[in-house]
Amino acid sequence: MSALIPVILSGGAGTRLWPVSRRAFPKPFIRLANGESLLGRTLKRALAVTDGGEVVTVTGADYRFLTADEYAHSTQQDFRSRLLLEPAGRNTAPAIVLAALDIAARHGEEAQLLVLPADHLIDDVDAFVRDVAAARVLAAQGFLVTFGIVPTAPETGFGYIRAGSAVEGGFQIEAFVEKPDLATAEGYVAAGNYFWNAGMFCFSARDLIAAATQVCPDVLAAARACVAVTDASGDVVAFERESFLAQPDISIDYAVMERAQRRAVVPATFGWSDIGSWNALGELTEPDAAGNRVQGQAIVVDGGGNYIQTEGRLVAAVGVSDLVIVDAGDAVLVADRHQVQAVRQVVDTLRQREHYAAQHHLTVHRPWGSYTVLEDADDCKVKRLTVKPGGVLSLQRHQRRSEHWTVVQGVAKVRVGDEDMLLQRNQSTYIPMNTLHRLENPGDSDLHLIETQCGDYFGEDDIERLEDVYGRC
């Protein structure tokens, strides 16, 4: 059988799990109770089934370094990571067709793709491996294969798949159906031949391209045009922006799967959740006798059925029930647990107001490490910088602020103007406005500094980069 290349789709708008998930740090990167991320767990599943030693990840250009860091920390297994970077969101059809063209060009059209969203939670990896094996058999017969989840309840938040006649290891697909109302969903569950659409797929590059030629030639043509003007010579491929944005914004279900001729579904034997709401995430935590689920420091008095998550501060809930309370440090969510799907409306409002909390946390991740905002006032801004071993900030200057750096842990290699210096713990330096400066960590452990900015404007757009090892100039 031809090589299997997992294709991980990673990104997201960070709406349904706000305030922990945000645009700059969406759901695939958030930490579960055991310290793992959804993306890290997806990578482990991908490595459990790949036989080509390669994993392709389609993600936003903004998530390049987050993804690389996650992969570096998630596994010690050697594998080839190939990143296909999107300059903007264009839904799943362009992402998957671009991945198919890329894999076909390098491995041949017989190569099989296993498409895995990065924000799914699957605990039983052994069952997952078995189901992928069944899907590969059908894909080798020319089917476009998806995985169907056996419904456990009349869920109205998922699309469904209606199964038809049996084939080896699964069923032919009669139809994809939209998210139903409750009565219709109850009928689907009772019928026994409906599955939740998990959004995971297996097919050969050849068969997907052939199907796209027939049912969505505009998507395929736009993808080919994008590939033609994109440099794909390395393992980090940044799609050319203008041609990428010319692609239709459409899902793979609408573009291909609903209209293709030869489709099959493999009933999944593994447990599955798309962690689509705070209720779904809360289910991962064991409840107490009153049904309260708690992550972090919380006290509940005379209340039940609550989910509380806090990243530091103590939360006390008295006389309340059926609430979701999430304290992310700079923002607090309090919601009726029956209304958590409306959290996205909060994010919509924040975006309309151009509020930072729709985009960033107080801790912001950068290729060289991260910074946490400790104070943000009109006349100063204070950050704690963490620079990874070997991390190098860009050579830069600011027009509207000066900076003071104080080392609290590690050794900093600093350039200020024409002067280079090494700063030890408790040592500091001053960077005047409009002065070239650079910071790097020459050590083998994290470097921590306190940065105090003084001036009349502290926005990130007051950074003029002259050199940058991460290509951000």
How many domains in the chain? 3
The pLDDT score that the predictor gives to residue 393 is 96
Helix, strand or coil for residue 119?
Answer: coil
Angstrom CA distances, 292 to 58, 101, 307, 339, stand at: 37, 48, 6, 17
The pLDDT score that the predictor gives to residue 77 is 76
Instruction: Supply the CATH number for residue 188's domain.
Output: 3.90.550.10
Contact 148, 78 (CB under 8 A): no
The pLDDT score that the predictor gives to residue 141 is 96
Sheet with 395-397, edge to edge strand ranges: 419-423, 412-416, 437-440, 395-397, 464-467
Instruction: Supply the CATH number for residue 372's domain.
Output: 2.60.120.10
With respect to residue 8, please indicate whether it lies within any of the assigned structural domains: yes
- Specify the residue for token string 């069952």: 127
Residues spanned by the domain of 374: 363-467
Contact 116, 47 (CB under 8 A): no
Burial of 75 (0-12, 13-18, 19+ CB in 10 A): middle
Residues 175 and 292 in one domain: no
Helix axes 205-215, 92-107, angle to 10 degrees: 130
The pLDDT score that the predictor gives to residue 469 is 93
Low-confidence ranges of the chain (pLDDT < 70): 1, 14, 76
With respect to residue 472, please indicate whether it lies within any of the assigned structural domains: no
Residues 156 and 126 in one domain: yes
The closest alpha carbon to 62, from 378, 382, 371, 470, belongs to 470
CA pair distance 169, 315, nearest whole angstrom: 49
Question: In whole angstroms, what separates CA 252 from the centre of its chain?
Answer: 18
Domain termination residue (choose one: 267, 295, 330):
267
> pLDDT digits over 417-466, tens only?
999 999 999 999 999 999 999 999 999 999 999 999 999 999 888 999 99
- Specify the residue for token string 């671009």: 98
First to last CA, the chain: 45
Q: What b/e sequence results for 41-60 when a residue is b if at least 16 CB atoms lie within 10 Å of its CB, and e otherwise?
A: bbbebbbebbebebbbbbbb
- Specify the residue for token string 């912001």: 364
Residues 169 and 188 in one domain: yes
Residues 219 and 309 in one domain: no
Q: What b/e sequence results for 2-24 when a residue is b if at least 16 CB atoms lie within 10 Å of its CB, and e otherwise?
A: bebbbbbbbbbbbbbbbbbbbbb
The closest alpha carbon to 460, from 369, 352, 360, belongs to 360
What contacts 98, CB < 8 A, 6 or more positions away? 58, 84, 223, 226, 227, 239
| pTM for this predicted structure | 0.90
Residues 49 and 154 in one domain: yes
Give me the half-sphere count of Cα atoms (radius 13 Å) on the Cβ side of residue 433. 9
Residues 39 and 73 in one domain: yes
Residues 87 and 61 in one domain: yes
The pLDDT score that the predictor gives to residue 51 is 81
